[in-house]
Amino acid sequence: MAKSQLKQLKERLKTSGFTGQTNAKKQKRGRVPAASREDKDNLLASIRDEFNPFEVKTTKQKHGDILGRRVQGATGRPGLSKQIGEENRRRTLQKELERKNKAGAVVDRRFGEHDPNMTPEERMLERFTRERQSRSSRTSSLFNLEDDDGESEGLTHFGQSLSLDDEFTLGDSNGGLKRRPGDASDDDEPERKKSKNEVMKEVIAKSKMYKYERQKAKEEDLEQIEALDGEMDGLRSLLFSSSAATTQPSEPVPERDIEYDEAVRELGFDRRAQPSDRTKTEEELAEERVKQLKELEDQRLRRMRGENVDEDDEKPKQRAPDADADDLEDDFELDDAADFGFGKGLGDVDDEEEGFDVESGASDEGSDDDSKARTKKVSTSTNATPLSGRRGKPSVELSEEDLKSGLKFTYQCPSTYDELLEIFEDHGLDKQLTIIERIMTLYHPSLAAGNKEKLMKFGPLLIEHAVSIVDDSSDLSEDDYNKLVKKIYDLTQSYPEEMSEGFRTQLKVIRQRLQIAITKTEESDYPLPSDSMIFVLIGMIFSTSDYFHLIATPAMLLIGQHLSQFPISTLGDYASASLLARVSRKYLDLSKRVIPESINYLNLSIFSFITQTAAPQGFPLADNLTKLSVEGTSKGISLRNLKISDIMTDTPITKISTPAERQLALSILKADLDTLVEFASLWKGKDAYKELFTPSLELLDLLSSEIAASKKRSVALGAIRDKITETSTQLRRLIDLQTLNRKPLMLQQHKPIPIPTYAPKFEENYSVDKKSYDPNVQRQEISKLRAQVKKERKGALRELRKDNAFVSREKLAAKKKKDAEYHAMLARLERSVASEN
Amino acid sequence: MPDAAVNKKKVKRSLTSDVSDSPLLKKSRSEKATMKKSAAILEPSPEVILELEKQISSSTEHYNNLVYLLHYMKNDDPQIALLSATALFRSFAKMMAAGLLSPVKKSLVGTAQETVALWLKEKYKEFKTDLVLLLAAEDAEAAYTSLTILIRIAKEESTYLSPNKGEYHFAKTLLKRITSALLNLSSDDLLLEFVEQYVDKYHDIRYHFLNSACMVAVEQAEDQTAEEQSLFTANLLSALTTLSSFPIDSSELTEFLVDVPSEAKTPVKKLSSQRGALQDCWLAILKRPLTVEQYKYILQVMHKKIVPNINKPQLLMDFLTDSYDTGGVVSLLSLNALFLLMQKYNLDYPNFYTKLYALLDRNILHVKHRSRFFRLLDLFLSSTHLPAALVASFVKRLSRLALSAPPSAIVIIVPFTYNLLKRHNTCNLLLQRTDFTDADAKKYGLNDPFNDEETDPNHTGALESSLWELATLQDHYHPNVGTLAKILSEPFYKPSYNIEDFMDHSYGTMLDAEFVKTIRKAPAVEFELVSNVFGGTDSKAYLSGWEL
């Protein structure tokens, strides 16, 4: 328990020796020295201060009583600390202030002045000997400057010695100047690190020297100019008196000389021949190619996984952060589906255009004139600007053959599809390719400005052309078609944006046509070869394995819609669906993703050959499904490859009668079985492999048992019997193999989600003094440091603020003093004047 | 007023009756005037009609003009016909107000006045018959005007021709004739006009319309051909579904064509009788033969238009349970109303979940009413008291179906599954099974413990299985679907997904979403072009097995 103030004071006085009787006599008797009296006064003053309650300031704690413990606020002596601070500033800051803007100062360089180890006597003695020595060494007069030896300072200017013979001082001006006489003896000691002050001085000296030099140069220039100005009058008189005479001789400079001069100048500017890279060896080239391919493949893989290849890539929309327990979860405006990038949806339920029982008028899109028929297709570009003249005529050789066939050297770059057709006239595809090549040469972007734009328009027209010519594929050669595709591919690489837009336009056209065909709102010739061909082109040209792809994704959706919603009624429909299923398989070649619609179609394809109505589970079945009726014998029918033109066949699948039609139907089935096997090998390793392919297997078994059971069926489907058996064995083996190692899912192998708790955090051993209960030591250390830094920073700021206040206070005081002096002076003068009067 | 039950033969006879045949005409005192007017028969014009009307109102001796006006009503020129119809209406309205058409007083029996009154009544009857016939006129305006006049006549009749003087009366007979005529028309335009203009507006008209429609339906059921019957049914159905403002509370019953005195006791003022009329009418429809479309349509509107507005929805139970047992789309559609009955009217439906489970057939994800069904399914499975085995069966079944579903349906199933799994923690086994040894591989792998054929959702063994199908769909070709399916392998932080947001997608909307994207960055191009498009037998070509 603390003692009372009075008791404390008494005790303090006693310990300091002011009160108490023990040694009083002795003390009194003893002489008290002046210094100790002073000390005593100081001591007394400090004791007085200590016990002065007005000096002590305590911050009041808001909660003084914590868990039964009295917590004291911080105590301090603001008066005292203020005073100390003031004194410190007076000692340092004021000195600086006084020295501010003052260049020179008296530096005490007397020997030993700052050496605390020397007594004043020693100092004096040493100084005296030195003086004597320098006197005695000096031979001539006291004022002989030349004879000054290195010991003395010598004359300097801007920190540089003015003695001319002293190279050492010139090179190291500072050394000579700064070196104190005491430690000047060792020249060869390693150069000591310069203090900041010295460095600054050096810099200042240098800059001053440069300034001086500049000044000097300028002065010289001025002098010269003045001199020239002085001569000007004379020159002028010369110029005006014989201007004709003087210009004459300068004119006939020989042509050759000029040329020569030019040649020389050119040679001067000429780039020196550089050694070129050496020719690479085969291995190196191959290696480079492999490296490049690997890089491209890496990029493709990243795209396939949906990662961003470039930083500037548009990011797939980040899903909204998962809701916390605190969330109120009244997200009436948030659309969960929008997080996944789905569109707005239909909005109204009843308008849904999907499903088997599509009723007429369900589609709200597909405006009439846009989607009539392919003959009146939407052209990608409409503004046909006739080209005015051709610049930069490139050399295109015109062979005799060309002349015969009516090919021209040059063509205008078409900007609409009609113009393109006009140019192609009746030429065959091989001639058209030549024309295309010529147009691409003529309008190469390097030849003229604006060519690039023309080619950008030309590309989409080529797509349209490549798609639509397959409708009449009788006189097309596959090689030529490949070349055409190559051309489109090249253009797509050069102008990806424009060509993509072209592909998209084509897709939109197909979409409208499909829509009409499904809803049957109008007459439709929908599945034309051209309608399927665009998907083939997209699959070949674009990287369809990408997770997000602006062209491939809608194309896949369209394929899916066709396969699941477009009813098959003719052999042509059947062939086109078969083609699309195959194309969808090619799209997924690398990404190995799943497309249920294709498998559904393949199942339906097999099922349509089965006469019985009960179908195994696992795929949707429309009520109004029309089945294939293959009558008659298939003996002698060989299964053939399918042709694009087969899509044009409009025999209803219920009326297959001729052998050619039977052959087509069976060939399509064969193609579908091939596709099925390809899918089966593609999706190895999928968890639901068994569920994906069991329906197909059951269907195949059903079909083969039907063939085996019925004589009529076996005659009709004999040609494909082996294929069916082969496919089913293959499929069965694959299914068994794939399901053997199937394990239950372990998708939720995460840390268990903690149940959010709202209980207050309670510390078992709470202490008022403990600042942090962080179990992580490192983090605790860091936060401690951080707190320290913060504290220091605040302290520093406070000090700076006080400094500023001090400085301004001092300045004000100085000014006041000056003013007062001035007034006093004036008053004095006034008085003196008054008294004189 | 004597009851004038009209049949077609009678109408025909009155049409053929000649003006000059009328015995009254000869007896009348104004023979000369008639002869003079005979010229007007040949040339009817608006002025003449107006003149005739004026004469009728001026004195009783011009009553024979009615005969001419009735004749004009059959004129080919619709304007003349309508004008004369209007003139006749005005004349008869005045007579009604004067009491000339009321039953003859006993004191006047045998007098000339009685003869005149009887003659007038006959003409009036003839006029009404002609007007009803005009409803079938090809000219829409004529038909509409005659309808308007008929309604006004009904109003006048109800006011003046009450059998007991001063008591509330409504011209039911006339309304029944109108109703019958409208319901047998070949197009329902006029009928719908009638429903919108009068039936929806006046509560007494609605009541009597519904009553008479019900009566007509029963009466005509026998002597109609199949074609007429289906026409009648279609008309009645469209009329009933157009009814938009059926009262919910008796306080709404304020607007009447014929003013109802506050002390009068009439069913028109009672909500229960209104509802009863509607109920009878609907039951009458349901008893008639219906086409599949009509059947589906009724089921579709049942929970909104029928069940809330009739007295005894329990009467629909049999109809609904039968529909529910039918299977397919009909079952789906009946689900809504059935649920309403179960919820509000204590309908106990045994094996409801078994039936519901059976609805998840191969085509459920492909039909038009998919989202409607899923809304209800969400509701039915929302209880946390359902056994885990049952919920697991539904989830597993849906997952099976998803494997052959269009992307728009997968989009529904995934968040739906998420919500169910979140709600029923036990079912998380479908996604995460740790109590499993390699020895069990055969049990879990090769043979899915889930029995596809089992119809009882409690015994399918789905809890032993896993959702391999949905896991496979994480690799769906549509990137957004794939991403959505991946929520099943992420921690289940979100309390639930709002199913409604995922309902209304289709290929169309997904394509729209794709096509509105702008090409900001060029799509990636294949870095090596396959040299051949068509391969035939060449397996390296893009399309092997195809030729140009």
Q: What is the pLDDT of residues A12-68, one digit of tens each?
A: 888 888 887 655 455 555 445 555 788 888 888 888 877 888 888 888 888 777 777
Q: Are residues B425 and B536 in the same domain?
A: no
Task: Name the token pair of B380.
Answer: 């039915």
Query: A interface mutation test: which of B297, B404, B435 has the most A CBs within 10 A?
Result: B404
**In this complex, is the C-beta atom of B404 within 8 Å of any C-beta atom belonging to chain A?**
yes
Other CB atoms within 10 A of residue B173 CB: 19
Q: Are residues B542 and B398 in the same domain?
A: no
Establish if B410 belongs to a structural domain: yes
Nearest-CA distance B430 → chain A (Å) = 7
Residue of A nearest to B446 (CA): A739
Q: Are residues B537 and B510 in the same domain?
A: no
Half-sphere exposure of A353 (CA within 13 A, CB side): 25
Instruction: Give the integer Cα–Cα distance in Å for A41 and A32.
Output: 13
> Lowest-confidence range among A391-405, B85-99, B266-280, B387-401?
A391-405
Establish if B320 belongs to a structural domain: no
**pLDDT above 80 for A670:** yes
**In this complex, is the C-beta atom of B446 within 8 Å of any C-beta atom belonging to chain A?**
yes
Establish if B177 belongs to a structural domain: no
Residue of B nearest to A348 (CA): B504
Average pLDDT over residues B324-341: 83
Q: Shortest CB distance from B511 goes to which of A492, A554, A591?
A: A554
User: Alpha helices of A100-155 — where are they, by DSSP H?
Assistant: 120-137
Please report the residues numbered 186 through 245 in chain B whose beta carbons come closer than 8 angstroms to any beta carbon of chain A.
none
- What residues does A58 pair with on adjacent strands? A75
Average pLDDT over residues B312-326: 84
Average pLDDT over residues A135-162: 60
Instruction: Please give the full DSSP string across B62-106, using - where no structure is assigned.
Output: GTTHHHHHHHHTT-SSHHHHHHHHHHHHHHHHHHHHHTTTSPPPG
The predicted pLDDT at position A818 comes to 97
The predicted pLDDT at position A207 comes to 93
Domain that holds residue B462: 388-517
Q: Are residues B526 and B496 in the same domain?
A: no
**Cβ neighbours of B415 in A, within 8 Å:** 336
At A57, give phi and psi (nearest 5°): -125, 130
b/e sequence A690-721, b meaning 16+ C-beta within 10 Å: bbbbbbbbbbbbbbbebbeeeeebeebbbbbb
Please report the residues numbered 351 through 390 in chain B whose beta carbons come closer than 8 angstroms to any beta carbon of chain A.
362-363, 365-368, 370-372
The predicted pLDDT at position A214 comes to 94
Establish if B416 belongs to a structural domain: yes
Residue of A nearest to B493 (CA): A322
The predicted pLDDT at position A561 comes to 93
Nearest-CA distance B338 → chain A (Å) = 20
Task: Name the token pair of B207.
Answer: 């009541």
Nearest-CA distance A641 → chain B (Å) = 5
Residue labelled with tokens 């049952």: B390
Q: Shortest CB distance from B468 goes to which of A493, A541, A745?
A: A745
Instruction: Please give the full DSSP string across B212-272, using - where no structure is assigned.
Output: HHHHHHHHHTTSS-HHHHHHHHHHHHHHHHH-----SSGGGTT--SSPPPTT---GGG-HH
The predicted pLDDT at position A323 comes to 41
Which of B140, B161, B182 finishes a domain?
Answer: B161
3-state SS assignment for residue A570? strand
Instruction: Please give the full DSSP string across B515-544, using - where no structure is assigned.
Output: HTS---SPPPBPSS--S-SEEET-TTSSEE
CB pairs under 8 A between A and B: 342
Mean of pLDDT over chain B:
79
Establish if B261 belongs to a structural domain: no
Q: Are residues B501 and B529 in the same domain?
A: no
- The angle at the Cα of A411, spanning A407 to A412, to the nearest 5 degrees, equals 155
Question: Which of A157-171, A199-213, B195-209, B235-249 is most confident?
Answer: A199-213
Residue labelled with tokens 């097995």: B545
Nearest-CA distance B420 → chain A (Å) = 15
Q: Pick from A583, A597, A539: which is nearest to B507 by CA?
A: A597
**pLDDT above 60 for A150:** no
Instruction: Give the integer Cα–Cα distance in Å for B332 and A355.
Output: 14
Task: Name the token pair of A144.
Answer: 């002989």
**In this complex, is the C-beta atom of B484 within 8 Å of any C-beta atom belonging to chain A?**
yes
Q: Shortest CB distance from B533 goes to which of A322, A481, A551?
A: A481
**Cβ neighbours of B517 in A, within 8 Å:** 550
Q: Contact at 8 Å (CB) between A738 and A690? A: yes
3-state SS assignment for residue A643? strand
Instruction: Give the integer Cα–Cα distance in Å for B224 and B228.
Output: 6
Instruction: Give the integer Cα–Cα distance in Å for B406 and B229.
Output: 41
Nearest-CA distance A747 → chain B (Å) = 5
Q: Contact at 8 Å (CB) between A506 and A534? A: yes
Establish if B30 belongs to a structural domain: yes
Task: Name the token pair of A656.
Answer: 């297959």
The predicted pLDDT at position B335 comes to 85
Q: What is the pLDDT of residues B467-486, one digit of tens each?
A: 989 999 999 999 999 999 99
Average pLDDT over residues A772-800: 93
- What residues does A570 pair with on adjacent strands? A652
Q: Are residues B486 and B544 in the same domain?
A: no
Instruction: Give the integer Cα–Cα distance in Å for A478 and B67.
Output: 89
Q: Shortest CB distance from A688 goes to which of B403, B407, B523?
A: B403
**In this complex, is the C-beta atom of B392 within 8 Å of any C-beta atom belonging to chain A?**
no
Q: Are residues B75 and B114 in the same domain?
A: yes
The predicted pLDDT at position A272 comes to 66
Residue labelled with tokens 């140009």: B548
Q: What is the pLDDT of residues A549-592, one digit of tens each?
A: 999 999 999 999 999 989 888 888 999 999 999 999 999 988 89
Instruction: Give the integer Cα–Cα distance in Å for A460 and A537.
Output: 12
Mean of pLDDT over chain A:
78
Residue of A nearest to B371 (CA): A349
3-state SS assignment for residue A811? helix
Q: Pick from B281, B267, B150: which is nearest to B218 by CA?
A: B281
Q: Are residues B53 and B89 in the same domain?
A: yes
Establish if B533 belongs to a structural domain: yes
Q: Are residues B104 and B135 in the same domain?
A: yes
Nearest-CA distance B339 → chain A (Å) = 19
A564·B502 Cβ contact <8 A: no
Instruction: Please give the full DSSP string across B348-405, using - where no structure is assigned.
Output: --TTHHHHHHHH--TTTTTSTTHHHHHHHHHHHTT-TTS-HHHHHHHHHHHHHHHTTS
In total, how many domains does chain B have?
Answer: 3
User: Alpha helices of A242-281 — where are they, by DSSP H?
Assistant: 243-247, 255-269
Contacts 24+ apart (CB under 8 A), B434-437: B434/A746, B436/A743, B436/A744
Establish if B201 belongs to a structural domain: no
A743·B542 Cβ contact <8 A: no
Q: Are residues B524 and B494 in the same domain?
A: no
Q: What is the pLDDT of residues A454-508, one digit of tens each?
A: 888 888 888 988 888 888 877 788 888 888 888 899 889 888 888 899 999 999 9
Q: What is the pLDDT of residues A233-277, one digit of tens each?
A: 777 777 665 544 444 555 566 777 888 888 888 887 776 666 677
Q: Are residues B92 and B148 in the same domain?
A: yes
Q: Are residues B544 and B478 in the same domain?
A: no
User: Alpha helices of B21-77 — where are they, by DSSP H?
Assistant: 23-27, 31-42, 46-58, 65-72
- Please give the C-alpha separations between residue A26 and each of A12, A23, A43, B234, in angstroms, as whole numbers: 20, 5, 20, 137
Instruction: Give the integer Cα–Cα distance in Å for B56 and B75.
Output: 20
B547·A622 Cβ contact <8 A: no
Nearest-CA distance B452 → chain A (Å) = 9
